[in-house]
């Protein structure tokens, strides 16, 4: 079985630091035959067009060459979504994995036309005790003054593999918000890239991860600011229990000319066991003077004082921990207005922390 070398950072650091990329040894890319049929689309309205005509253009980053090549050449689902106008509808697409739909290679393209507004929720979930494989690409083109919120839920089981590449292009005064809930997968590898090319464009990425057993999360989030007064905010909250591992690689790159741009990234990891491992590489790259960039990361366990306070109110240790994790994630999950989906996420949190 070959070693999959994935998720390279835009700039390398010392090889001895073990964070420039991830090497997966026991994962093979399956050959995908036939369509993935277990897809359900809810809430499509007249302001939204959906077809399967994907335009191919090269990807700047992406999870890895082999996986991107698979998406481009043998995707078993292609979805092209065009948002033509403002809509308050939430378009929801469920991808449900079962023994007849084990492998999904999906290529999703989302275009928001000038002035359009929408929310799209993508849910990937295993319904059975299977070893699923997901390799997906999401590309978003936000035209001027458009506004889109994408909610991405990875609720796969811990036997599966999850690879996601995201590329966003933001034109003038456009806004893309992402809320990513990353819970599933033996390996969950995400490459997220935003190209803020338009002046006053705005990108917010709110992400939570929850790892247990031997799960590995490798999150490579990259924002390149080119437009004047462009703005990116990356907020990542996570918790790791058992032997789970997380690599967070965040890059905010202020390109020459992005005057008065702002970039912030914050990653915070709650360690719930003494064998969980948290690595972080929060990079700020800057070749423009008139900008503001900040990053911060922190790791540690739940404070004894906080636990003591909650337990003094009659909760057991396990319940107190759940409350603390919920409270930490709630800041991110507030961005999801769909109560049913939010409730499903909270149930997953409780289940995974049991």
Partner 1 sequence: MKMKTKIEEINRNIYDIKNKDEYEYKIKKGLTPEIIAEISKQKNDPDWMKEFRLKALDVYNSLTLPTWGPDLSELNMDEIATYVRPKTNLSSSWDDVPDDIKNTFEQLGIPEAEKKSLAGVGAQYDSEVVYHSMKEELIKQGVIYTDMETAVREYPAMVKSHFMKCVPIYDHKFVALHGAVWSGGSFVYVPKGIKVDIPLQSYFRLNSPESGQFEHTLIIVDEGASLHFIEGCSAPKYNKVNLHAGCVELYVKDNAYLRYSTIENWSKNMLNLNTKKAIVGKNAKMEWVSGSFGSKISMLYPMSILNGEGAKTEFTGISFAGKGQNLDNGFKVVHNALNTSSVVNAKSISKNGGTCTYRSLVRVNENAKNSKCSVSCESLMLDDISRSDTIPTNDIQTDEVEFSHEAKIGKISDKTIFYLMSRGLSEEDAKAMIVRGFAYPISKELPVEYAVEMNNLINLELEGAIG
Task: Specify the residue, 121 or 291, whose C-beta has the smaller distance to partner 1.
Answer: 291
Number of residues that bind partner 1 (CB under 8 A): 43
Residue 319, burial from CB neighbour count under 10 angstroms (0-12, 13-18, 19+): middle
Stretch 55-84: interaction string toward partner 1, x if CB under 8 A:
------------------------------
CB of 299 to partner 1, least distance (A): 4
Task: Specify the residue, 20 or 78, whose C-beta has the smaller distance to partner 1.
Answer: 20
Task: Specify the residue, 88 or 298, whose C-beta has the smaller distance to partner 1.
Answer: 298
CB of 152 to partner 1, least distance (A): 26
Q: Which of 102, 226, 114, 238 is nearest to 181 (CA)?
A: 238
Q: Which of 68, 50, 51 is nearest to 59 (CA)?
A: 68
Pick from 35, 40, 73, 287 the residue near partner 1 by CB under 8 A: 287
Residue 57, burial from CB neighbour count under 10 angstroms (0-12, 13-18, 19+): exposed
CB of 266 to partner 1, least distance (A): 10
CB of 346 to partner 1, least distance (A): 23
- Do the Cβ atoms of 101 and 37 come closer than 8 Å? yes
* Backbone torsions φ then ψ of 189, nearest 5 degrees: -115, 120
Q: How far is CA 192 from CA 4, 53, 111, 119, in A?
A: 18, 23, 17, 18
> According to CB under 8 A, which residues from 2 to 41 bind partner 1?
11-15, 17-20
> According to CB under 8 A, which residues from 205 to 264 bind partner 1?
254, 256
Please enumerate, as own/partner, the contacts of 8-11 that have beta carbons within 8 Å and a separation of 24 or more: 8/220, 9/220, 9/249, 9/251, 9/281, 9/283, 10/61, 10/222, 10/251, 10/253, 10/283, 10/285, 11/251, 11/283, 11/285
Pick from 39, 113, 130, 283 the residue near partner 1 by CB under 8 A: 283
> According to CB under 8 A, which residues from 299 to 338 bind partner 1?
299-301
Measured torsion, CA atoms of residues 296, 297, 298, 299, in degrees rounded to the nearest 10:
180
CB of 172 to partner 1, least distance (A): 22
Containing 25, the helix (H) or strand (E) segment is: none
> According to CB under 8 A, which residues from 261 to 280 bind partner 1?
269, 271-280
Q: What is d(CA 110, CA 139) in angstroms, rounded to the nearest whole number?
A: 6
Task: Specify the residue, 17 or 42, whose C-beta has the smaller distance to partner 1.
Answer: 17
Task: Specify the residue, 305 or 313, whose C-beta has the smaller distance to partner 1.
Answer: 305
Pick from 100, 213, 242, 292 the residue near partner 1 by CB under 8 A: 292
Stretch that binds partner 1, among 71-79, 135-143, 281-289, 311-319 (CB under 8 A): 281-289
Q: Does 298 bind partner 1 (CB under 8 A)?
A: yes
Task: Specify the residue, 54 or 279, whose C-beta has the smaller distance to partner 1.
Answer: 279
Residue 71: DSSP 8-state = H
Pick from 182, 199, 235, 288 the residue near partner 1 by CB under 8 A: 288
Q: Which two tokens stand for residue 64?
A: 């890895």
Degrees to nearest 5, angle at CA 282 with 304 and 62? 120
Task: Specify the residue, 222 or 272, whose C-beta has the smaller distance to partner 1.
Answer: 272
| Interaction site with partner 1 (CB under 8 A) | 11-15, 17-20, 254, 256, 269, 271-301
């Amino acid at each position: 079985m070959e070693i999959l070398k994935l998720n390279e950072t835009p700039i390398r650091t010392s090889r001895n630091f073990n964070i420039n990329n991830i090497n997966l040894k026991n994962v093979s890319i399956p050959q995908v035959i036939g369509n993935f049929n277990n897809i359900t689309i809810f809430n499509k309205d007249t302001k939204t067009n959906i077809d399967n005509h994907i335009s191919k253009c090269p990807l700047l980053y992406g999870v890895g060459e082999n996986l991107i090549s698979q998406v481009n050449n043998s995707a078993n689902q292609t979805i092209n979504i065009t948002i033509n106008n403002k809509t308050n509808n939430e378009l929801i697409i469920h991808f449900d994995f079962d023994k007849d739909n084990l492998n999904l290679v999906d290529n999703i393209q989302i275009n928001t036309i000038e002035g359009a507004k929408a929310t799209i929720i993508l849910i990937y979930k295993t319904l059975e005790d299977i070893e699923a494989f997901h390799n997906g690409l999401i590309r978003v083109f936000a035209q001027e003054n458009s506004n889109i919120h994408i909610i991405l839920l990875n609720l796969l089981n811990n036997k599966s593999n999850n690879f996601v590449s995201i590329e966003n292009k933001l034109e003038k005064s456009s806004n893309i918000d992402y809320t990513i809930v990353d819970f599933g997968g033996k390996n969950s590898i995400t490459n997220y890239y935003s190209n803020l090319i338009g002046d006053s464009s705005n990108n917010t990425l709110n992400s939570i991860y929850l790892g247990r057993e031997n799960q590995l999360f490798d999150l490579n989030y990259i924002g390149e600011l080119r437009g004047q007064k462009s703005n990116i905010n990356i907020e990542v909250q996570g918790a790791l229990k058992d032997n789970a591992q997380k690599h967070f690689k965040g890059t905010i790159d202020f390109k020459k000319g992005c005057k008065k741009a702002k970039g912030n990234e914050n990653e915070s990891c709650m360690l719930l066991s003494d064998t969980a491992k948290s690595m972080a590489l929060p990079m700020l790259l800057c070749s423009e003077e008139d900008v503001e960039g900040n990053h911060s990361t922190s790791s540690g366990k739940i404070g004894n004082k906080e636990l003591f306070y909650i337990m003094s109110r009659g909760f057991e240790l396990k319940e107190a921990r759940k409350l603390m994790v919920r409270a930490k994630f709630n800041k991110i999950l507030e961005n999801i207005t769909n109560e049913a989906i939010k409730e499903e996420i909270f149930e997953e949190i409780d289940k995974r922390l049991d």
